[in-house]
Homo-oligomer: A and B are copies of this chain.
Amino acid sequence: MKAEIIAVGTELLLGQVVNTNATFLSQELADLGIEVYYHTVVGDNPQRLEQLLVEAEERSDLIVLCGGLGPTDDDLTKDTVAAHIHHSLVQDEQALARLHDFFKFSKRSMTENNLRQTLMIEDGIPIQNPTGLAVGTLITKEDTTYLLLPGPPNELNPMFQQNVRPLLAARFPQAEQLISRVLRFYGIGESQLVTDLKELIDRQTNPTIAPYAKPNEVTLRLTAKVADEGLGQQLLDELEAKVMAKVGTYFYGYGDENSLVKVTVDALKKYGKTVTAAESLTAGLFQSTLGDITGVSEVFKGGFVTYSAETKAHFLGIDVKLLEKEGTISEACAIAMAERARIVADADYAVSFTGVAGPDELEGKPAGTVWIGFAEKGQSTIAVLQHFNRDRRSIRKSAVMKGLDLILRAVNKKN
């Protein structure tokens, strides 16, 4: 079962609107076991749309079109598809009744062009629109099925989920479904991860392994194509065990909606530990990243932004002579910051960040040079030297991730 998605609208080609419909429809179709091979965007132009239909019919069983079902003259998707397959447009009575109700309720007067929205392709199945006025159509002609949906996501999404899914599931029952699992890794680059897993990736066909690089982390999506969910989970468990045997030391959590800060805050909560920070380089970014997580106040009470030598001395009580002797971008400074912050804030853990955000060098050290201090109650305080690439913002974000990693590893090790 091969499908493709055609979005119609000049506003997409001008870059005024992002094609989130293609993303949504792809997720939904994957979920139904229908494979999507192409997305295309074309403007409000009947000739180019018709040419695209000719190409799409050659290669796909299901063509999903979105956009161009509205009331204005440039909404021509329905007319174009109907003419192309030699069908007429006919009134859908349910959509017409809804249109009249809508204008009656809102006490606005209905303009003639609104009637266009209630037309569907003759002999097709009308798709009612729970949140808008334009009716859709599902119609099969020869070997191709055409699905016409409106462009606004707030109409297309509920329409698909409520009214299209059941139709497609019944019409194209899949023997097999896709079951997937996302593993998240910190501290290893995509190229290294893929090298470490090369043999495994090359050998796997079902389940498959797909790596994806995000800023400062890499995810692996394991996907099994199976008839039975239980079997799918078992295959994923087996593959995950093989992946973990090779790169498990970098693994920190599961799922698309997860993050290193979320996992770290959860671990602190679980063991009833608190954290603080003294931030120079990152200027509060570490603490505000913690603040993104709901309920973080259980484990985070506050901390310091010490952007100058004076505030390092004044807020944290660090000896000015140490800063003068070692410099602020130094192991000694990072250690003093973490140690003093932990004591002043009376927390179980503290991290500190001092370094060069760039673009210029500082104290003779190039941009990207970062010392991260880590203090733990009852342990000696340490500092690690990092060299981050890229721009100012990336350097600071990379430092925050490393700080989270230090805490998470310590919490998991101790408990």
Which among A154, A213, A368, A389 has the highest number of chain B CB atoms within 10 Å? A389
Q: Can you name the residue of chain B whose Cβ is closest to the Cβ of A281?
A: B291
**A18 & B18 in contact (Cβ 8 Å cutoff):** yes
Chain A interface residue bracket vs B: 35 or more
Could you say which of B43, B191, B288, B359 contacts A37, with CB atoms under 8 Å apart?
B43
Contact with B along A291-307 (1 / 0, CB 8 A): 11010110011111111
Q: Can you name the residue of chain B whose Cβ is closest to the Cβ of A287?
A: B284
Query: In whole angstroms, how far apart are the Cα atoms of A183 and B191 in the complex?
Result: 42
Asked if A241 is at the interface of the complex by the 8 Å CB criterion, the answer is no
Asked if A325 is at the interface of the complex by the 8 Å CB criterion, the answer is no
Q: In the complex, what residues of B have CB within 8 A of residue A249's CB? A: none
**B302 & A304 in contact (Cβ 8 Å cutoff):** yes
**A14 & B41 in contact (Cβ 8 Å cutoff):** no
Query: In whole angstroms, how far apart are the Cα atoms of A32 and B12 in the complex?
Result: 17
Query: In whole angstroms, how far apart are the Cα atoms of A297 and B287 in the complex?
Result: 19
Query: In whole angstroms, how far apart are the Cα atoms of A317 and B277 in the complex?
Result: 19
Known interface pairs A215-B154, A302-B315. Does A102 touch B191 (Cβ–Cβ under 8 Å)? Answer: no
**B315 & A307 in contact (Cβ 8 Å cutoff):** no
Asked if A323 is at the interface of the complex by the 8 Å CB criterion, the answer is no
Copies of this chain, whole number: 2
Contact with B along A273-295 (1 / 0, CB 8 A): 00001010111111110111010
Q: Can you name the residue of chain B whose Cβ is closest to the Cβ of A131?
A: B390
Query: In whole angstroms, how far apart are the Cα atoms of A131 and B388 in the complex?
Result: 12
**B14 & A26 in contact (Cβ 8 Å cutoff):** yes
Contact with B along A89-118 (1 / 0, CB 8 A): 000000000000010011111011110000
Q: In the complex, what residues of B have CB within 8 A of residue A102's CB? A: 389
Query: In whole angstroms, how far apart are the Cα atoms of A30 and B16 in the complex?
Result: 11
Asked if A71 is at the interface of the complex by the 8 Å CB criterion, the answer is yes
Q: Can you name the residue of chain B whose Cβ is closest to the Cβ of A58?
A: B51
Q: Which of A135-143, A160-168, A391-399, A401-409 is found at the contact surface with chain B?
A: A391-399
**A284 & B294 in contact (Cβ 8 Å cutoff):** no
Query: In whole angstroms, how far apart are the Cα atoms of A315 and B277 in the complex?
Result: 13
Could you say which of B20, B55, B291 contacts A282, with CB atoms under 8 Å apart?
B291
Q: Chain B's nearest CB lies how many Å from the CB of A381?
A: 20
Asked if A379 is at the interface of the complex by the 8 Å CB criterion, the answer is no
Query: In whole angstroms, how far apart are the Cα atoms of A308 and B276 in the complex?
Result: 12
Q: List residues of A (215-244) whose CB comes within 8 Å of B's CBs.
A: 215, 221
Could you say which of B15, B210, B215, B305 contacts A287, with CB atoms under 8 Å apart?
B305
Q: In the complex, what residues of B have CB within 8 A of residue A107's CB? A: 387
Asked if A83 is at the interface of the complex by the 8 Å CB criterion, the answer is no
Known interface pairs A71-B191, A106-B388. Does A302 touch B302 (Cβ–Cβ under 8 Å)? Answer: no
Asked if A354 is at the interface of the complex by the 8 Å CB criterion, the answer is no
Asked if A36 is at the interface of the complex by the 8 Å CB criterion, the answer is yes
Query: In whole angstroms, how far apart are the Cα atoms of A210 and B13 in the complex?
Result: 13
Asked if A189 is at the interface of the complex by the 8 Å CB criterion, the answer is yes
**Could you write out 30 A-B pairs with CB less than 8 Å apart?**
A10-B210, A11-B212, A12-B22, A12-B39, A13-B37, A14-B27, A15-B25, A15-B26, A22-B41, A38-B48, A39-B40, A40-B40, A55-B55, A71-B194, A72-B190, A106-B387, A106-B389, A108-B189, A109-B192, A111-B191, A114-B191, A131-B391, A283-B291, A284-B287, A285-B288, A291-B396, A297-B308, A302-B304, A302-B311, A305-B305
Known: A107-B387, A302-B308, A302-B311. 9 other contacts (CB 8 A): A15-B22, A15-B27, A16-B221, A37-B43, A70-B213, A72-B191, A105-B368, A282-B291, A288-B288
